[in-house]
Structure 1
């Protein structure tokens, strides 16, 4: 049953907390299940990957057949319409353009004591991209996860994707070619994450793993973190739509369902300024739940995780937004920019009634890999910076070393680190 809350209720934030903080406990269970898989792949490499491919994906491929060949790419291109290919190429170009604007600059300068200070940016050497299979096909995920790495000049990109019955959907392979990925393996699940992290006899390990997956993939990424970097501990998708009574309830309903259809655990939240408008939205949702392709998933998601919040004034929603810290925030109101100063926490923000969240999923340009489960309080969506490392640079002369030495020696001695102090003082001896 969809929960309906009123911001005027004195216990509002307590009620909201109780809803948002419900944990299924599935995360802990998933970690226990994938740990032996990771250890198995770590120890036995290809043999374990092949075993789990058979067990989970009915994929009976040998080690030599795991890597996608150029012939398979060419065959896939013949099975994807030019319309889809062109749409993906247009999306690629927009994503590239946006992410190029994120490229940072190196810096070096001399301060007033003559100390040279600065930093430089260098790309991560190798990145693994997990692309989900299963209930839906996501070529957009291929583009969104790989293009920032390409723009950052990562030299080796490796894609893994589940291959049920040994097959990968052609559009996934075409999107990989459009993105410029040349190393692709038919592996999914925790075994794919382990293969990327630790390597096998045929797959070289990577330095970082990005990309969405189910709860088991997320658990596997969490367990290999430290051996490799990861993008985030991703949870189910979520959207918060802020609409006033002047909005179109049908548009609002479909915007909410755009997340509900992702996953039974997805969460869709509406904030509006009247019960009458909320009722109209619910009526439209009930209609579309009977007509969209993934209705069973959407029904379960909306009924179990949907929330409607009633406020007296839209202008007062800032604290609610910050509390929820949504992955996607859609401001379907007049003058949405005026609301931006009233909150801080959101993964991606969609301004105005003509900016549906789905635009950002595919073609707008910004990345659709975003913080979930309230983590936009402290982190951001995937960007070029996630594929770069920043190294600080220091250069001192005898004169500037002398100028800084007294304070440096004082601090070193206060910490009891005599070798630290000596490494400075020994250079100052005449």
Structure 2
């Protein structure tokens, strides 16, 4: 069997047909397959009606995991600790180092804006905001094609830093195969309870609650099309972080970073799945040629080369721009999940970039460092949603309540204003409730 080849689409912004070709390459349908939607509807309804019984049924069907009770699918804390202890020392130390960096970053995030505040006006009226953590959250950790201990850390640690009372983790274990590193990460991150269930049925169990799985207030974490569809449908019953699409990387290169580094950075997203998108924007045609040559040279070495090739051939692009400023403008149109500035002067271009999930500055800052251990969260907006949404963080696990304490003197002033506006809206009870606090002349 011959190795696959990867030929990302070559484009130039100077070409007459650039806009149409560019739009076609970027296009990603947000519509999930009708069969997925239909299947998810049935699963959610069954779990809502039948609870644990339905979860067990779907776990047997989809994960080929035979269990007679939900108790058999809940992992004891001792099993998580045993998984941690079983790791080789270098891997155990790496896990702890990554967790410490992620915790440190999210603690700084909390200090910067996650505290309650209030102030008093001269008449004694108090106004403010009370910030409180959610009581219970559910984190979904993928467990099908690959294991993702990093997702455990990135979802659980900011929730713990925020002060969430209970963190419930669900992770599919097809055919009962448990990944020790995932379980060890749950131990390190302080996860409260772990159930070895996945798919739409796991989302339903978290959203509605069953006799065994507690109902949560919010569900975070990525998954496949069934998980994304289920999260979309249960939103309103519970909060969700985002609807995640395929992974993306955009590299802005000025030609100063070794071409093999950039080629491997493009691979780092392409290896996730065939629908992942890897794009290079560069004003140097000769450099783009070198990157393609490195793609050709390095691809046969990659264990996931078939996935990488399908991703690059189907959704990848190497785009020649007029200059770096134009590359930045195109980047803002794409609003990528991961944005690397592979430049000798990253600080020069960063101010021009407005929309990205995470920005990686300079040739030494590979996107993979952000995925695992730099500290900022790797749960990022995809499919151009970085135009209006943000990375997962402490603020996703907190809610804000307004504080209002009106003094007697304040009620005299505010009551007249409220009564006037309430009568203008035709809401007499509102007006009278305010006026009853007014002093009689």
Could you tell me the TM-score, scaled by structure 1's length? 0.96
What are the within-5 Å matches in structure 2 for residues 204-353 of structure 1?
204-353=214-363
Q: How does 1:25-424 map to 2 (within 5 A)?
A: 25-63=31-69, 64-103=71-110, 104-112=114-122, 114-424=124-434
Q: Which one is further off, 78-87 or 379-388?
A: 78-87
DSSP 3-state at the match of 1:100: helix
Unaligned runs of 5+ in 2: 1-6
Report the Cα distance in structure 2 between the residues aligned to 1:421 and 1:14, rounded to whole angstroms.
Answer: 58
Q: Write the distance in 2 (CA, Å) between the matches of 1:246 and 1:95.
A: 30
- Spell out, residue by residue over 1:132-166, the C-alpha distance to the aligned partner (whole angstroms, 9 max, x if none): 01111111111001000000010100111101112
The answer (yes or no) to whether the contact 1:61–1:166 under 8 Å persists in 2 is no
Contact 1:90 1:363 in 2 (8 A): yes
Q: Which moved more, 1:337-346 or 1:367-376?
A: 337-346
Give TM-score, length-normalised by structure 2: 0.94
Residues of 1 paired with 2:124 and 2:12: CA distance? 61
Structure 2 residue aligned with 1:21: 27
* Residues 212-242 of structure 1, C-alpha deviations (whole Å, 9 max, x = no match): 1111111111111110101101101000000
Q: Quick one: distance in 2 between partners of 1:260 and 1:394?
A: 51
**Equivalence for 2:4:** none
Q: Distance in 1 between matches of 2:399 and 2:277?
A: 34
Task: Provide the secondary structure at the position in 2 that maps to 1:317.
Answer: helix
For structure 1, which segment, 356-365 or 412-421, has the greater mean C-alpha deviation from structure 2 after superposition?
412-421
Q: Distance in 1 between matches of 2:30 and 2:120?
A: 55
How far did 1:293 drift? 1.5
SS in 2 for 1:359: helix
Question: CA, structure 1 residues 27+330, in 2 after alignment: closer, same or farther (shift >3 Å)?
Answer: farther
Give the 3 Å change call, closer, same or farther, for CA 14–403 of structure 1 in structure 2.
farther
What is the CA-CA distance between 1:71 and the residue it aligns to? 4.4
Measure how far apart 1:289 and its partner are.
Answer: 1.9
**1:82-122 Cα deviation digits (max 9, x unpaired):** 21111000000000000001112211102355431110110
SS at match of 1:251: helix
Q: Is the 8 A contact 1:329 1:347 kept in 2?
A: yes
Residue 333 of structure 1 deviates from its aligned partner by 0.5
| In 1: Cα distance, 2:31 partner to 2:430 partner | 48
In structure 1, C-alpha distance between the alignment counterparts of 2:311 and 2:32, rounded to whole Å? 16
Aligned residues: 430
**What SS does the corresponding residue of 1:209 show, helix, strand or coil?**
strand
Alpha-carbon distance in structure 2 between the residues aligned to 1:275 and 1:98: 39
Distance 1:391 1:144 in 2: 26
Residue 246 of structure 1 aligns to a residue in which SS? coil
Deviations 1:3-53 (A, max 9, x none): 222223466445433332242843554222211011111111111111111
